[in-house]
Structure 1
Amino acid sequence: MAVKEQQTQKRKSPEGKRERFTMIRSFVLADVLTLLNGACGSGSVLSAMQHLITQEDRWLTLSMALLPLALVFDFLDGRVARWRQKSSSLGADLDSLADVISFGMAPAAIGFAAGLRGEIDVLLLLFFVGCGISRLARFNATAVAMSDQSGKVSHFEGTPIPTSVGIVVVVWILHGLGLTGESMWLGSASVFGLAIHPLSLIYAASGAAMVSTVRIPKI
């Protein structure tokens, strides 16, 4: 609440009148990198959808290739903000929203496009996305409490959401070996009449790790 009041006060003129918030002018270089992260994630989702329509492998490959690039932009935005010692009031929110797309929704879309389309598969993919959203919300809510005197966060609680790129790498390798789609690695099974591919359990494990209380030192 205090942070919001301070931001409101900053947007008031000396006469006490509320100034118009100029979003574009408030952007800094770090925000541009964050938006590029989100653009890569969005492009990944759209490419996965295109693969489902055309069944052309190049679209699924592009979808997976965009996420390591998103990870690079996610790494750079924080480094650039600290290097330039300049950040905007939108920075933290932009970062979380971009990460939800790039490292939450996009990996789930890739799994779905690669063949994880059984009923239980879909439930596990939704669980994974929900855990990613919850992980980011918890970090935003507790970042101040976990930060040291310099304002830096010393550790993460639960695995960071960008670790989901590891799942994409696994799917990428399996796809290259021809072990996705109808030839899915480990095959499929039926639980109470509902289809599941064992590979989808990797998404469930990743989601559970994100919302766990395990402390991960921040590098």
Structure 2
Amino acid sequence: MWMVSPPVGVFQSTKKLFLSERVGQGRTLEFIRKNAANGLSMANLVAGLSSILCSINRQYHHSCWLLLVGFLLDLADGAVARQLNACSALGAKLDDFADFTTFGLATALLLQPQGVLDGLLAIAYVMAVFARLCFFSSGIPFTYRGLPCPYASSLLAGTFLLTGGNVTLLRVAAIVMILFMVDRGFYPHDKVLESQLWKKLVYAGGVVAVLFSPMAVASVYCLAWSTSYIIFPFAVWSCKA
């Protein structure tokens, strides 16, 4: 019985289709590699904008939760960029813009400015975050100048949730955070996801607390985390600790 062999053109078309699919998959994977960290920064930005909308609608508990989510996203985007070798000038600018929105504008609205003095405090907090982002580099490897604004925001969000929205206490805490941010003292670049195992476990615990635990647990966890970094930066959070 004679077998009819397929035309040569069929093999060539199949080969071209297979190769084009592989090229398409390779381009997709490369796009994901280059933009994974940018996606996290965009998510941080969206969290900050959503927090602003919640504060405008006086849904401050939701606003605080979104700030804690932004805190976790901000710690992850740099680690992802370095692990995937996808650091870029665009990514750095996007990260700064997201940080200013989430940890500056959105966090300042928790202060609920209603009068002139309250408004000045909110403006001072935003400007402190702006100055902190401008003087990000210390010239010393693995070291920041000034308290990183995500930790200040996490502390304020946790304070708000634990005190049931005590605005007076929150404003006092905001003044202290402003002083820490503009003081330009040294703080370690903790690199939680690229450091010791216990720091990775702290981060994983934060994810579980914020996403799957009651709000009180999440606020206590993030407040304790941020406070330990603010008070014992090098004793606990240095790369050598």
Q: TM-score, normalised by structure 2?
A: 0.61
Residue 119 of structure 1, CA deviation:
2.5
Alignment of 1:95-114 (within 5 A): 95-112=95-112
One-letter code aligned to 2:146: G
> Which of 121, 125, 129 pairs up with 1:124?
121
Greater radius of gyration (CA):
2
Contact 2:104–2:130 under 8 Å retained in 1: yes
Quickly say closer, same or farther: Cα 1:60–1:199, change in 2 above 3 A: closer
Bigger relative contact order (CA 8 A; separation at least 6): 1
Residue 198 of structure 1, CA deviation:
5.8
Residue 168 of structure 1, CA deviation:
1.2
Q: What's 1:54 paired with?
A: none
CA distance in 1, matches of 2:34, 2:86: 10
Residue 108 of structure 1, CA deviation:
0.9
SS at 2:95 equivalent: helix
One-letter code aligned to 1:211: V
Contact 2:156–2:170 under 8 Å retained in 1: no
> Which of 153, 167, 171 pairs up with 2:156?
167
Q: What's 1:19 paired with?
A: none
Q: What's 1:192 paired with?
A: none
CA distance in 1, matches of 2:178, 2:154: 12
Residue 172 of structure 1, CA deviation:
1.3
Q: What's 2:145 paired with?
A: 157
Structure 1 unaligned residues grouped into runs of 5+: 1-23, 52-58, 147-152, 185-196
CA distance in 2, matches of 1:25, 1:218: 26
Contact 2:146–2:183 under 8 Å retained in 1: yes
Identity between Structure 1 and Structure 2 (%)? 27
Q: What's 1:77 paired with?
A: 77
CA distance in 2, matches of 1:198, 1:80: 36
Quickly say closer, same or farther: Cα 1:157–1:39, change in 2 above 3 A: same
Deviations 1:107-162 (A, max 9, x none): 111221xxx534322211110110100110111xx46x33xxxxxx4111110010
CA distance in 2, matches of 1:69, 1:111: 19
Alignment of 1:15-164 (within 5 A): 28-51=35-58, 59-112=59-112, 116-139=113-136, 142=137, 145-146=139-140, 153-163=141-151, 164=153
Structure 2 unaligned residues grouped into runs of 5+: 1-30, 191-241
SS at 2:135 equivalent: helix
The 4+ residue runs of structure 1 with deviation greater than 4 A are 24-27
Q: What's 1:204 paired with?
A: 175
Aligned length: 159
CA distance in 2, matches of 1:136, 1:208: 15
SS at 2:74 equivalent: helix
Alpha-carbon RMSD across the aligned residues, in angstroms, is 2.1
Residue 26 of structure 1, CA deviation:
10
Contact 1:125–1:204 under 8 Å retained in 2: no
